[in-house]
Each structure stands twice: as structure tokens, then as C-alpha cells.
Amino acid sequence: MLFLFLSVLSSSLISLFMRLGEKKRHSTMGMFVINYLVCSLLSCLFAGRIAVYTPHPGMGLAMGLGTAAGILFLLCFVLLQLNIEKNGMAMASTFMKLGVVVSTLIAVFVFHERPRPVQILGILLAAVSILMIHTDQADSAKAGWKWLLPVLLICGGVTDSMANVFDKIGDPAVRDYYLFYTFGAALVCALALMLWKRERIGIPELCSGILVGIPNYFSTRFLLLALSSLPAVIVYPAVSVGTIVLVSLFGLVFFKESLSRRKLVAMGIILLALVLLNI
């Protein structure tokens, strides 16, 4: 349970630190480069050595899954940042963590897990809450950006599922290398995009990247550790619920974000849905 709590805390701090100093940053991709550089360095540190490859039966799988996860990580981070700017921190993080519904569906069709009736009810309630938020007229000024929320949901769910895929078919002995390939691939992609956009890294990007990178690495590491000791059907909903609550509190306390009554009801339904997924 300790790893669950630490994963929740780390995931919540990612959204908080991405929001801090956003007005001073001139290069979002520069922040991502520093973020993934920090994650890669931490992966090397925990691996105990810096080696791109070492002979091991599970290394090829770790490299393939890690590279795919890294590309998805960057895509998901870009979507999260854009949603935070356009739809608010609470809604962006809620939809990202609501990707647990996608993770559940992947577990059903890929790993042939069978959800219980209460879990099916949870998925249906989650869908209802999405429709409530998507049709909320309180944000008519931002209506053109609502489509980004379900896109973030899907991307978040698929990205989270990569950890479960590695836990199911990967070798725990190369866990640190899986993390290294994950963040290394994301670093290369972020660097390429930064150079393509001709952006530069300044002090604000450096500070934000370091602040985001530390909890970003540990959120993934703690998630893997939690999955190694607890069923995914417990880990994913628990992390999602905890992160939604913490991020919403951060948004209200630190940034004075307001939520319409309709959205508050929808978030309540989301929490109920995630609890049902956990039963």
C-alpha cells in the first residue's frame, strides 16, 4: 500500500509542477527535454550502472516495450499540458486518470480478465460522467477545446497499460532498463521536436523540467512496484482516485480554480465509478 500512496503523490505533483511557472516558460518542449533527461539519469542511478544494453533474456522485450511507452509518455504529457492550459488542471488530470477505464478494457481484451458486474457498472458511470462534462454549457468559451479531454483519456489509459503489460510479460530483473528505455525514447522524441520547433532551454524550462522530472520518474517506478505486489484492478483505480482528489485540491487551493455544479456532480460520479472498479 505504501507504493500506491507514493505513486498517487508523485502523479499529483506532476500536474502541480507543470502548472507552476507556466507563464514564464517560453519552450514547453524544452521543459519536456529536461524532464525526460532527469528521468533517464534517475533510471541509470537506480540501475546502478550506465549501459545502453546488457546481455539478458528479457532485454529485447524491455527495449521494445520501453521505447513504445516512451513515445506514448511524451504524447500524453503534451496532451496533458495542452489540456491544463485549455480546460483547467482539475479537468485535465481527471480525464487523464479516468483512462483507468481504457486500462480495464485492455485488460479484458488483451489479458482476458473478466470484470465483475460492479466493475461494469463503474465503467458505465464513468461514461455518463464524461458525457456530463462534455456537454457542460458553463464552459462555452472553451467549447472548441473539449475534444482534447477524451483524447487525453484514451492516451492516458493506453500509456498506463504499458506498465501492466511489462508486469505481465516482462522480466522484473530488467525493470530499471525498461524505465531507462521508456524515458530515453521520450527524451529523444522531445529533443527532436524541440529542435524542429527551434525552441531553446532557458532557466524557467530548466527549473520546471527538473521539478516535473523527479515525480514523473517516481510515479512510474512506484506504479511498477505496486503492480508487482497488488492486482492491477486495485492499483489503477486507487491511483486514479487518489490523484484526482489531490490534484483537484491543488487546483482549488493554489490556483483558485472553480468548478461548475455540473462538473462537481460529474467528478463525484467519477469517484464513485472508480471505487466500483476497485470492488
Q: What Å distances lie between residue 35 and 96, 200, 233, CA to CA? A: 19, 14, 29
- Whole-model pTM: value is 0.78
Confidence of residue 137 (pLDDT cuts 50, 70, 90): low
Contact call for residues 81 and 181 (beta carbons, < 8 A): no
User: What is the average per-residue pLDDT within 44-53?
Assistant: 67
Quote the pLDDT of residue 143. Answer: 56
Confidence of residue 278 (pLDDT cuts 50, 70, 90): low
Quote the pLDDT of residue 201. Answer: 93
Quote the pLDDT of residue 177. Answer: 86
Provide the residue type at 4 as one letter. Answer: L
Q: Does 186 score more than 70 pLDDT?
A: yes
Q: Does 147 score more than 90 pLDDT?
A: no
